[in-house]
Homo-oligomer: A and B are copies of this chain.
Amino acid sequence: MLSQTTSVAGGPSPFDLAACLARARVAARLVAAADREAGLEALADAIEAGADVVLAANRGDVERERQAGTATSLVDRLTLDERRLAGMAAAVRQVAALPDPVGRLVSGWTLANGLRVQQRTVPFGVIAMVYESRPNVTVDAAALALRAGSVAVLRGSANALASNRALVHAMRTGLERAGLPPDTVQLVDDPDRAQVTALLRARGQVDLVIPRGGAGLIEHVVRNAQVPVIETGVGNCHVYVHADADPAMASAIVLDAKVRRPGVCNAVETLLVDADMAPAWLPRMLADLHAHGVRLHGCEGTLALAGEVPVEPATEADWATEYLDFELAVRVVAGIDAALAHVARFGSGHSEAIVTRSLRAGRRFQDEVDAAAVYVNASTRFTDGFEFGFGAEIGISTQKLHARGPMGLAQLVTTKYVVDGSGQVRG
C-alpha cells in the first residue's frame, strides 16, 4: 500500500491523522530493526527514478503560486529542477554514509549490588516535522529521521502539497522495494490547519516535533505543542566590536556575518560598537555596509558618525528585529557591560560574537552571554551543523532542553537504561 491518499475505489479518501500515527508507530518498531542504510540508498534511488513525476507535480505548484502573485523569492524556494533533485538524492546518500547514531553506549557502570547499568542511544520513534515551502526539507527530514532509526510524519506547506506528495510517494516506493515499511515516511496530506494542531497534541503518538521555518510558524508550534518539541531557528544575532578589537578583523567579521547570506538565522542583525572604537572605525564600516546594499538603522551615536551614509534612526523595534535581509541595526555602547545588557535583553539565544584582542573581555563575553554559540573573533555564520562537522543538520536549536545549537544525528536519538541483574531486589 504505497499511496496514503488513494482509497480502494481509486479516488482520494479523506486524510485520517489518527490512522497515520497508528501506522507510524507500527513502522517505528520495524524500522528500529531494519537495514536503514539500504533503506536510505533506496530512498535516494527512488528520488532519481521518480524525477519526472516529481518535477511535473512541482510545475503545478509553481504555476499556481505564480498566478496567485506569490513573491518571487518564495516561488524560487518552491521550485525544483533536475539539478536540485539530484542534489537532494546526493544529500540522502551523504546521510546514508554517516555513522549510525543508534546503539552507542553513552555511559555504563556497575553498582555495589552487582547491577550493571548501561545507557544506550535508541531511536525516538515517531518524529514529526512541520515546515514551510522548500520541498527539499521533505527529503532531508525523512532521510535524517530514518538514519536516526525513527519514522517521519511530515507536514509541509499547502503551496508545496503536490510536490511533497510526489516526493513522499517516490520515497515510499523506494522503501518498499528495499524491504522497509513504506510508512517510515508519511505526509500529513490535508492542507487544513486543524491537522497541524491535532498533530501537535498527539501525546504518546508523536515522540518529538521539530518546526522549521519562519518565526510565526515556530511560535505557533511551540505555543500549541503538547508533545515534546525542539524550538529552532530564530536568530537575532549580535556582533560586538570591543574597544580593543583589531579594526580590520572586526570589519571582515561584520561584513561576512551580514552580507554573504543575510536570509539565514546565523546572520548578524545588530552591530554593537564600543564608544571608544566608534569614532575611528564606524564611519568606514557604515560606508562599506552601505556599498554592499545594506539598509542601516542607527542609534544617535551612530547617526552622529554616519557622515554622507544614509542611516535611519533606530527604534526599540529595530533592536528586536530579525531582518533576514540586507538590513542592520547599529548601536554605539558605553562598554562591555552595556553590550552584555543589550544582548541579554534583545538576543534570541542563537549566536553572539565579540571581536577583541583582550583575553579578559573575550572570556567574560563567553561566560556571561546566554546563547547556543558564543564566538570570540569569528563570524556568527559558523553556527551550522555542517560547519561544526556533524555531517548533517536538522535545524539549530535555540532552546536549552535536549539540544542547543546545531543539531545533527546525535541530537535525533534518545537513550534508555539497560540494566542487567542476577536477581537483585531493593528490599
Taking beta carbons and an 8 Å cutoff, which residues of A are in contact with B? 29, 32-33, 109, 111, 115, 117, 122, 124-125, 203, 207-208, 222-223, 226, 228, 230, 246, 249, 252-253, 255-257, 260, 344, 362, 366-368, 370-379, 381-383, 387-389, 399-402, 404-405, 414-427
Q: Is the CB of A249 within 8 A of B423?
A: yes
Residue from the set A125, A207, A344, A378 with the largest chain B CB neighbour count within 10 Å: A378
Question: Across the interface, do A424 and B382 meet the contact criterion of CB distance under 8 Å?
Answer: yes
- Residue from the list B115, B373, B417 in contact with A417, Cβ < 8 A: B373
Q: How far is the CB of A107 from chain B (nearest CB, A)?
A: 10
> Are B373 and A419 touching (Cβ within 8 A)?
yes
Contacts of A223 in B (CB 8 A): 203, 226
Chain B residue, CB-CB nearest to A413: B400
Is B404 a contact of A415 with CB atoms below 8 Å?
Answer: yes
Residue from the list B109, B415, B426 in contact with A382, Cβ < 8 A? B426
The CA of A208 and the CA of B400, in the complex, are separated in Å by: 8
Closest CB-CB distance, A14 to chain B, in whole Å?
27
A376 close to B419 (CB less than 8 A):
yes
Specify how many copies of this chain sit in the oligomer: 2
Question: How many angstroms from the CA of A399 to the CA of B29 in the assembled complex?
Answer: 17
- Complex: A197 Cα to B255 Cα, angstroms: 44
When the two chains form their complex, are residues B372 and A416 in contact, meaning their CB atoms are under 8 A apart? yes
State A167–B381 Cα separation when bound (angstroms): 47
Give the residue name and chain of the B residue nearest to A257 (CB).
Answer: B425
Given contacts A383-B417, A405-B416, 12 further A-B contacts (CB under 8 A): A33-B367, A111-B382, A124-B400, A228-B401, A252-B423, A256-B427, A362-B420, A373-B418, A376-B419, A378-B420, A379-B424, A381-B426
Among A344, A425, A427, residue most surrounded by chain B Cβ atoms (within 10 Å):
A425
Q: Which residue of B lies closest to A118 (CB)?
A: B366
CB pairs A–B below 8 angstroms (14 shown): A32-B368, A111-B382, A115-B378, A115-B382, A125-B370, A228-B401, A260-B427, A362-B420, A370-B416, A373-B416, A375-B421, A378-B420, A378-B423, A404-B416
Which of A32, A246, A382 counts the most B-chain CB atoms under 10 A from its CB? A382
A400 close to B207 (CB less than 8 A):
yes
Whether the pair B109, A401 counts as a contact (CB closer than 8 A) is no
Whether B378 and A421, one on each chain, are in contact in the complex, defined by CB atoms closer than 8 angstroms, is yes
Bound form: Cα–Cα A378–B116 in Å: 10
Q: Compute how far the CA of A378 lies from the CA of B419 in the bound complex, rounded to whole angstroms.
A: 8
Q: Which residues of the other chain, B, contact A208 by a CB distance below 8 angstroms?
A: 400-401
User: Which residues does chain B contribute within 8 Å of A414, judged by CB atoms?
Assistant: 400-401, 404
A180 to chain B: closest CB distance in Å?
17
A32, B367: Cα distance in complex, Å:
9
Q: Which residue of B362, B370, B401, B405 is within 8 Å of A401 (Cβ)?
A: B401
What separation, in Å, do the CA atoms of A374 and B208 have in the docked complex?
Answer: 21
A381 to chain B: which residues have CB within 8 Å?
Answer: 425-426
Within 8 Å by CB of A374, from B376, B388, B417, lies B417
CA distance A222 to B204 in the complex (A): 12
Once A400-B208, A401-B402, A416-B374 are accepted as A-B contacts, the answer to whether A389 and B421 lie under 8 Å apart by CB is no
Q: How far is the CA of A419 from the CA of B383 in the complex (A)?
A: 10
Cβ contact within 8 Å between B423 and A377: yes
